[in-house]
Amino acid sequence: ARRHEGAAVGMEVFRSQTVDGVWRQAHAAVTATAERAKQPSRVGETLELLHVGFQVHDPRQRWVISRRPQINPAFAIADALWILAGSNDADIMNYWFPNLPKFAGHGPIYAGAYGHRLRKHFGVDQVKRACEALSSTPESRQVVLQFWDVLTDLPQADGAPRSADVPCNVTSMLKVRDGRLEWTQVLRSNDLYRGLPNNFVQFTLLQEVIAGWLGLEVGPYHQWSDSLHIYTDSLGAFSCAGPVSEEANADSLAVPVDQGEQLINEMYRRLTMLTAPNLGETQLSELATMDEAPVGYRNLLRVLAAESARRRGHLDQADALMADCTNPQLVQVWSGWFERVRSASVGQELPSPSRGTT
């Protein structure tokens, strides 16, 4: 990490080969602010660093392994597919994280859904246009994906939010350099414990998928978190583990764009069906079997199916599904999550929101 001189709080840049590496650095820096003045917010007191940069050299190593308690990998994967599919359907995401309405509001849709903002909200499919533009002009510096809508997201004159679900991600900037897709993600607000681990999965997964659609390698992932913070009432509930050994992700999600769009649609269809009530074990196993898909996608689907089985109380089936997963990193993050919830009631979720950074 490099501290910029002259800043009372913030202006940190964290660099590592992996997401877990930068998260550990950020955790140390934010918790070190405890001796400084606390920063109030609309929903509680925080420890805050302003203007924080991250650089991950291998974005495919996208999982925060060190957070305790460990994150739910199925929710993070479901969220990324939900974005790529352009959906704002609240029920789908509420299945994977039942506490989400507490943080993003109640209703049939989420107003700030990132995928809907990217693919439908502004009247243009920004992902499709970005791929077309970069295919035609790889050196372009004008490919900017927009989430923030001033008409719906800028606060009221008294500072009150316009919605319960105001996007924390503001924009993405895509650059092609040396045959690699580099991605820069900008967030106005970012909870280190709840939001950041899932944001890394969301946008490095988008980066890898879109790089594949463009026929490019995956370049570094950059992120700018303008307010990186921890709510002080979370300090007793979350922590950073001691040194851990990270398993590697060797899976590739690279497929041509035409095949890729069809694949995302099919993955999202199965993700949706995995939320259906009264889904039997045979049907669940059939949904988890997608032999025609590349192995990287099959492994993501196994994690989703295993979590669906776990929620239904089919713990042996969940174990069996993950026994077929050939991605050591996914097995590692799933194992941490499964141990966390093994003794919990069927369907019970533990409080770990990904989007409630306010």
Which residue's structure tokens are 């978190």? 225
Instruction: Report the DSSP beta bridge partners of residue 2.
Output: 13
Residue 101 parent element (H or E): helix 101-104
Report CA-CA distances (Å) from 276 to 96, 263, 312, 326, 338: 12, 21, 11, 26, 21
Report CA-CA distances (Å) from 10 to 25, 49, 253, 342: 13, 4, 35, 38
Task: Count the helix, strand and coil residues of the chain and give each as a percent rounded to the nearest 5.
Answer: 40, 15, 40
Q: Are 69 and 340 in contact (CB under 8 A)?
A: yes
Please tell me which residue in 131, 168, 240, 325 is annotated as part of the active site.
168
Q: Which two tokens mark 151? A: 């008409």
| Beta strand ranges found along the chain (DSSP E) | 2-3, 12-16, 46-56, 67-68, 144-146, 169-177, 180-187, 190-191, 217-231, 239-240
Report CA-CA distances (Å) from 64 to 68, 142, 177: 10, 31, 27
Contacts of 257 (CB under 8 A, 6+ apart): 131, 213, 214
Q: Which two tokens mark 320? A: 């069996």
Cα-Cα end-to-end distance for the chain: 26
How many Å apart are CA 345 and CA 201, to the nearest integer?
27
Which residue's structure tokens are 């174990």? 319
Identify the burial level of 99 via C-beta atoms within 10 angstroms of its C-beta, where 0-12 means exposed, 13-18 middle and 19 or more buried: middle
Active site annotation includes 168: yes
How many Å apart are CA 345 and CA 326, to the nearest integer?
28
How many Å apart are CA 284 and CA 273, to the nearest integer?
9
- Catalytic positions, written as ranges: 168
